[in-house]
Every structure is written in C-alpha cells, then in structure tokens.
C-alpha cells in the first residue's frame, strides 16, 4: 500500500509580496498561484467591517480607503500593535501576518488539497523575537509550522537544486562559495554560504530589517510631493489616501526605471495636476545613499566570513529590488563578477522553503540528500552590572555568526540567603549597553529550594536551535536540581491570546 505523504509546502512571507511553493511528484519545487491567478500575493490586508481582504484587492483599496489597509506588517513584528488601527481596532503585527498566511493557505489548499504543515521563511537578520512572532503568526493562521528557515539559505538551496548539484550523482567537485544579496520590499540581507558535498553552511550574515524597495519608493514620493508643494502650496503627502495613491504611482515609476531610462509620475490633488518626469540617472542619485548602505554591509559580511571576492564563486540575486540596474552595477563593480541569474529572484525563497519542508516531512522516508547549517545573526547576552561604573552592561554569551545549534552556560549566584527566585534579562544585539540591544525577555527561575546560602551558584543554559529560536534551562550547579522557569516577553501574546486569535481567524475568514 503506498504510504501517504502530506504535501511539502513552503511559504515566503514577504514584507511586500508573499509566495507559496510545493514539491511536485518528482520533488521539484513549483510555485502555486493564488485565487486571483498571481504567483506573488501582495502582503496587504484590508479590514472593513466584518470583512478581511488580503492581496491584490487590499492593495487596490489603498486608493479609496487607505486608512484601513495594513502594509509592511513584517517590518513591525516585535511591536505590541500595528502602528495604526484598522477599522477602529488594534491588531498586533503578527495577527496581520496571520491573515496573510491564512489566505495563502486557503488558496493553496484549493489547488493541492488539504494540508496544514508548512515551512515559513524569515530574513536571516531577524532576531529571536521576530522569529517567534513569525511562528506565532503561522499558529494563529491555523497552520502547523514545521520550521522557519532563513530566506538566503532557502534561496541557496533552491539554487543548488536548480543547478542539479543535489542529485545523488550531481555533487560539485569542490566547495562552492555563494554570496546571497537579498533586497526585497522592506528588508535587506546579505549572506555568505559554502556548499560542499551535501551540506549548506552559512559563514556569515548581516542585514537591515528596515531597508528595502519601499525606501527607494519613498525617495520618489518625497521628490514628487515636494515638487507639488513648491508649485501649488499643497502637500499631497498630508492626506493618507492621496499619499497612498502617490506611493503606488511612484512604485510603478520605479519599476519602469528598471527597464527604461525615464518615467513619469502623474498626481492630482485639490484640483491641481502635476506630471513629473524622472530619469533613471536622477533616481539613482536620489537613492545612492541607500545603495551605499547595502554595499557597506556586503563588504563587511565578506570580511566577517573571512572571504575575498576571488573566493566567491556565485553571487545570487534575491528580491524584487535586485531588478534595479544600479544594484547589479554596484555588485559587478565591487566584485568584478556578473551576478548569477539562474534562479528566480521572486520565487527562489519559496522554492527553498518547500524543499526544506520536503526534508522534514520525508524524514524516515527518503530525505532529500542535503543538510543545512546556520549561524545566529545577533549576539546573545545577559544584562549584568559593570563593576567599574555600576551601570548595566551586556555580557555576551554567544557571539553572532556562531554555528547553530549552540549552547552556552553561565553561572549566576543568589544574592541573599533563602532567595526563592532569580531573574535574568536576556538580550540580543552588539552593543555593550543593554538599552541599545533588543530585549528578548526576562527569565525568572523559580522553586529554588529553601535555606540556600547567599552566593549559591545556579547554572543557566542558553541554547539556540538550528532555526535561531532560544531555549533556556536552569539548575542548581551542584545538586543538578532542575529549576522551573518562565521567559516573560514584552509585547508577546500568551497561549490563550494566540488561541483566541486562531479561533477568530478561522471563523472570520470563510
């Protein structure tokens, strides 16, 4: 009897566009179109009364009802609520992400049948809090999140498969070093990877969770907006719906400028009409500092990886914004190499996620013949006191770019006799000052046995899983007694809240 295997599905949950892929009967990744027939679904959500609309129609509503449309919620993961209310209600950003996932899931089911297990991708540069928020979004959408994987890793895996390197007899003869440059709508990531025999190893990763095509759009918006204001004394950026219309016009013009040397933006506001011509040259000038920021990060990541351009075999371009000629030109300039164009900048990430789902689902069956090794993109630390100044200071436990999984142990001491609990503040970031790091949460270890003297040592183990999620364990240093603990996270929902949203989404979206 043939054994039933659930479909292997991967979701690239993007800041501006999301993509779903699955493995076909030959284990080849294929993109699934949404109900509207598009391979890319805008990650836009419209809330209007009892109706929640995701995708193209939500984006279209920007021109009539911008106030109730949520865009780029991914950029706000980790905050307690999205920056604006939608139809009078506050939504945590991960709930908006859950609504996007729910639509993608529903549309995929109508094509490949019922399933609920998926792999979701995250920017390599996402911190632990944003990784958890992404998993929570999957849960609230009604899904079972098998794993989250890094977007550049997913793209590299898709590349390896497309090149035929991953068939049992197609192994490359020597190690191949890849640089993945991912410039999407809202985030930027650069990752150096090595592909050897059957293993993908990340050597270094860096990025910016608030830099993407959207910032290029804003430069055009400001250019046209201030021109309008100069001419007519009215600023179209002041009214939300008009500003959204202007943004859509500018984003369109930006795309045109990738293929033509000039584009026009037309704008009507308060009875005035303005048509502004923009040349590619002018556009490149007004955004050159944004491009410079990505160049700087690329060079820095290369150094961190201990690599030189001569040792990089392929440059993979991922993300819609890499279609801008200035990106390719800059990379050719600094590397003296032509970027690889064999993978789809839009779909490679989702394809890699589907391949990862395939590995997880097939384990015990026929696993796909490769493995993946990652690094942490931020240093893990605990907050202590600087003995010299008495000020709070970050004590690094696991430096960034360490191979995962990894465990670090730190021994703390009780301060008083008979102390019942200890509190440890856990942060991620590169600054010695905890205030400049991102707070993961407060770990409180309880049930310390009564009668302990002051200065009793307590061992705390911090473990990053392969996907960058954190696990903590605490025990008495000598007696091996395990202490129960809880990690209090700011801005994060508890299980009851997650379940309530999960029910709400299941019921409200038919």
- Distance between CA atoms of 262 and 253, rounded to whole angstroms? 9
User: Cβ(211)–Cβ(189) under 8 Å?
Assistant: no
* By CB under 6 A, residue 185 contacts ligand ADP: yes
* By CB under 6 A, residue 76 contacts ligand ADP: no
* By CB under 6 A, residue 324 contacts ligand ADP: yes
* By CB under 5 A, residue 7 contacts Mg ion: no
* Count of positions on this chain that bind ligand ADP (CB under 6 A): 21
- Distance between CA atoms of 314 and 330, rounded to whole angstroms? 15
* By CB under 6 A, residue 262 contacts ligand ADP: no
* By CB under 6 A, residue 205 contacts ligand ADP: no
Q: Candidates 184, 207, 213, 381: give the one binding Mg ion (CB under 5 A).
A: 184
Q: What are the DSSP calls for 363-388, one per residue?
A: TTS---S-EEE-B-SS-EEEEEE-TT
Q: What are the DSSP calls for 278-332, one per residue?
A: EEHHHHHHHTHHHHHHHHHHHHHHHHHTT--GGG--EEEEESGGGGSHHHHHHHH
Q: How far is the CB of 273 from ligand ADP (least distance, A)?
A: 25
182 is a catalytic site residue: yes
**Residue keyed to tokens 């928020």:** 133
User: Cβ(441)–Cβ(488) under 8 Å?
Assistant: yes
Tokens coding 19:
């993509």
What's the start-to-end Cα distance of the chain, in Å?
36
Query: Quick one: DSSP state of residue 83?
Result: S
* By CB under 5 A, residue 14 contacts Mg ion: yes
Residues 329-368 interacting with ligand ADP (rule: CB under 6 A): 346
Q: Candidates 85, 255, 337, 403: give the one binding ligand ADP (CB under 6 A).
A: 255
* By CB under 5 A, residue 320 contacts Mg ion: no
Which of the stretches 131-139, 171-179, 212-220, 481-489 binds ligand ADP when contact is defined by CB under 6 A? 212-220
Query: Quick one: DSSP state of residue 340?
Result: B
Dihedral angle at the C-alpha atoms of 237, 287, 186, 263, nearest 10 degrees?
70
CA atoms within 13 A on the CB side of 92: 22
Q: How far is the CB of 474 from ligand ADP (least distance, A)?
A: 38
User: Cβ(65)–Cβ(47) under 8 Å?
Assistant: no
Which of the stretches 15-23, 63-71, 242-250, 273-281 binds ligand ADP when contact is defined by CB under 6 A? 15-23
12 is a catalytic site residue: yes
User: What are residue 96's phi and psi, to 5 degrees?
Assistant: -65, -40
Which of the stretches 263-271, 305-313, 319-327, 407-415 binds ligand ADP when contact is defined by CB under 6 A? 319-327
> By C-beta, is 320 or 434 nearer to ligand ADP?
320
* By CB under 6 A, residue 14 contacts ligand ADP: yes
Q: Candidates 29, 138, 152, 212: give the one binding ligand ADP (CB under 6 A).
A: 212
- Answer positive or negative: Cα dihedral of 462, 496, 489, 127: positive
Q: How far is the CB of 284 from ligand ADP (least distance, A)?
A: 12
> By C-beta, is 249 or 425 nearer to ligand ADP?
249
- Three-state DSSP at 404 gives coil
* Partner in contact with 294, chosen from ligand ADP, Mg ion, none, beta carbon below 5 to 8 Å by kind: none
* By CB under 6 A, residue 258 contacts ligand ADP: yes
Dihedral angle at the C-alpha atoms of 151, 152, 155, 156, nearest 10 degrees?
-140
Tokens coding 397:
């436990």
> By C-beta, is 186 or 434 nearer to ligand ADP?
186
Q: Which of 94, 182, 425, 428 is catalytic?
A: 182
Contact footprint for Mg ion (CB under 5 A): 14, 184
Contact footprint for ligand ADP (CB under 6 A): 14-17, 184-187, 212-214, 251, 254-255, 258, 319-321, 323-324, 346
Question: Which active-site residues does the annotation give?
Answer: 12, 74, 151, 182
């Amino acid at each position: 009897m043939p054994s039933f295997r659930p479909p292997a599905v991967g979701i690239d949950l993007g800041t501006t566009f999301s993509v779903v892929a699955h493995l076909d009967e030959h284990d080849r990744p294929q993109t699934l179109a949404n109900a509207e027939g598009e391979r890319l679904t805008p990650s836009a959500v419209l809330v209007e009364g009892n109706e929640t609309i995701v995708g193209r129609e939500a984006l279209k509503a920007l021109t009539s009802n911008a106030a109730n449309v949520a865009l780029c919620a991914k950029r706000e993961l980790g905050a307690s609520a999205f920056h604006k209310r939608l139809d009078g209600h506050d939504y945590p950003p991960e709930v908006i992400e859950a609504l996007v996932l729910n639509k993608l899931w529903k549309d995929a089911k109508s094509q490949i049948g019922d399933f609920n297990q998926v792999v979701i991708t995250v920017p390599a540069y996402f911190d632990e809090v944003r990784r958890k928020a992404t998993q929570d979004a999957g849960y609230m959408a009604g899904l079972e999140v098998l794993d989250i994987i890094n977007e550049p890793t997913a793209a590299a895996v898709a590349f390896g498969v497309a090149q035929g390197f991953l068939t049992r007899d197609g192994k490359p003869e020597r190690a191949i070093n890849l640089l993945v440059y991912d410039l999407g709508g809202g985030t930027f990531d650069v990752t150096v990877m090595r592909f050897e025999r059957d293993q993908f190893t990340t050597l270094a990763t860096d990025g910016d969770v608030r830099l993407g095509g959207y910032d290029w759009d804003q430069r055009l918006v400001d250019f046209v907006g201030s021109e309008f204001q100069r001419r007519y004394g009215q600023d179209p950026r002041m009214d939300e719906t008009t500003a959204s219309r202007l943004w859509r016009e500018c984003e369109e013009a930006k795309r045109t400028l990738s293929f033509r040397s000039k584009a026009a933006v037309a704008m009507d506001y308060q009875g005035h009409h303005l048509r502004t011509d923009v040349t590619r040259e002018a556009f490149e000038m007004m955004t050159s500092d944004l491009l410079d920021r990505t160049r700087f990060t690329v060079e820095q990541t290369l150094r961190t990886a201990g690599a030189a351009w001569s040792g990089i075999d392929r440059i993979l371009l991922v993300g819609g914004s890499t279609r801008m000629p200035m990106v390719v030109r800059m990379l050719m300039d600094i590397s003296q190499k032509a970027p690889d164009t064999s993978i789809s900048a839009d779909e490679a990430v989702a394809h890699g996620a589907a391949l990862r789902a395939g590995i997880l689902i097939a384990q015990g069956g026929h696993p796909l013949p490769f493995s993946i090794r990652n690094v942490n993109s931020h240093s893990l630390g605990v907050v202590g006191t600087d003995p010299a100044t008495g000020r709070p200071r970050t004590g690094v436990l696991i430096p960034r770019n360490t191979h995962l999984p990894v465990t670090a142990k730190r021994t703390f001491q009780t301060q008083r006799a008979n102390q019942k609990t200890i509190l440890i503040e856990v942060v991620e970031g590169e600054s010695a000052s905890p205030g400049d790091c991102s707070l993961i949460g407060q770990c409180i270890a309880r049930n310390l046995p009564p009668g302990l003297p002051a200065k009793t040592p307590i061992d705390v183990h911090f473990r990053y899983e392969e996907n960058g999620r954190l696990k903590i364990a605490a025990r008495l240093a000598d007696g091996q007694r395990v202490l129960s603990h809880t990690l209090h996270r700011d801005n994060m929902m508890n299980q009851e809240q997650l379940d309530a949203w999960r029910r709400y989404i299941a019921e409200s979206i038919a």
